[in-house]
Amino acid sequence: MTNQSTKTILMVRPTDFEFNAQTAADNEFQNMLPDRNVRQEALNEFENAVSLLRAEGVQVLILEKDPSLPEMPDAVFPNNWFGTDENGAIHIFPMKTPNRQQEAEQITGVLKLLENEGFSFTEILDWRKLLGENQVLEGTGSLILDRVHKRMFAAISDRTQEDACRKFAAETGYQPVLFHTMSSRGFAYYHTNVVMSIGANVVVACLDCIPDSEEREMVRNEIIKHHSLVEISIQQLEEGFCGNLLQVLGNNGETTITVLSSTAFNSLSDEQKETLSKHGKLISIPIPVIEAVGGGSIRCMMAEIFCPRKTG
């Protein structure tokens, strides 16, 4: 049986965290915070996030930095460069910027951590090679996967290239649902997972950022085929990170939890919170420095582990 959510996530301690000038070229959400010890503040936010998740019974695996590896300012966002599936495959994705491409050098540490925790994996699918040269597809930042119904939502951008999306879909059996977005400043959003999130029975999405009316209705119709829809505004997307949340399982898989940042929680209306609460307990996690400097929110910090457990 395919599950949309998992009870195990992997997080990476933000040892090298700082403003990443390379990714800031197309990430409108990044900001410099001068005269602040952002690295220490990010480490504190990370520790608190792990504690809050574990308190809800979510299994959190922590990947520690191999000191021999180069500096990786965005390593706290592991869902972009690797993913897993229930068949035991480990997916490595091609990143756009050189200092994020380096994050894939952590794959040895990831495999060792998973093995030590009792997970089995059958193969490594390296999309850097499978998609061909100069292709960019940044994992579950780019691809919002409806794992149960085998649909793949993706907002086309420099980090989510259309040809790469279509090839990934063809190779993995997903139906591609591709669309274009425009921010309030006239740019495509860098990742799909700031626009929308898919849970078991509910989707949170900003449809107003899809400028083409036919595309917008196509995406809406694809969502409501199998899910309830909670719509968020462009302001909630851009100022609140309200699209960047993740449904996980707590209490050893017995309870459904919707994890969102405190910024997102405070930006949702009471009605939106009430609707979402029907689909899982809302867990609000404060990560203001990671959001402001890194330009990503709590969903980006959690790489889902769907690999099966070893038997015997």
Between residues 28 and 284, the one the model is more confident about: 284
Higher-confidence residue: 254 or 80? 80
**Cα separations (Å) of 155 from 149, 188, 205?**
19, 8, 12
147: confidence class by pLDDT, cuts 50, 70, 90:
very high
Domain boundaries, the chain: 8-304
> Which pLDDT band holds residue 94 (cuts at 50, 70, 90)?
very high
- For the cut 70, the answer to whether the pLDDT of residue 121 exceeds it is yes
Instruction: Tell me the CATH number for domain 8-304.
Output: 3.75.10.10
Q: What is the pLDDT of residues 188-201, one digit of tens each?
A: 999 999 999 999 99
Locate tokens 């017995």: which residue?
Answer: 254
Supply the pLDDT for residue 24.
Answer: 80
Q: Residue 8's beta-bridge partner residues? A: 59
Strand 246-250 versus strand 255-261 pairing type: antiparallel
Model confidence pLDDT, tens digit, residues 219-244: 999 999 999 999 999 999 999 999 99
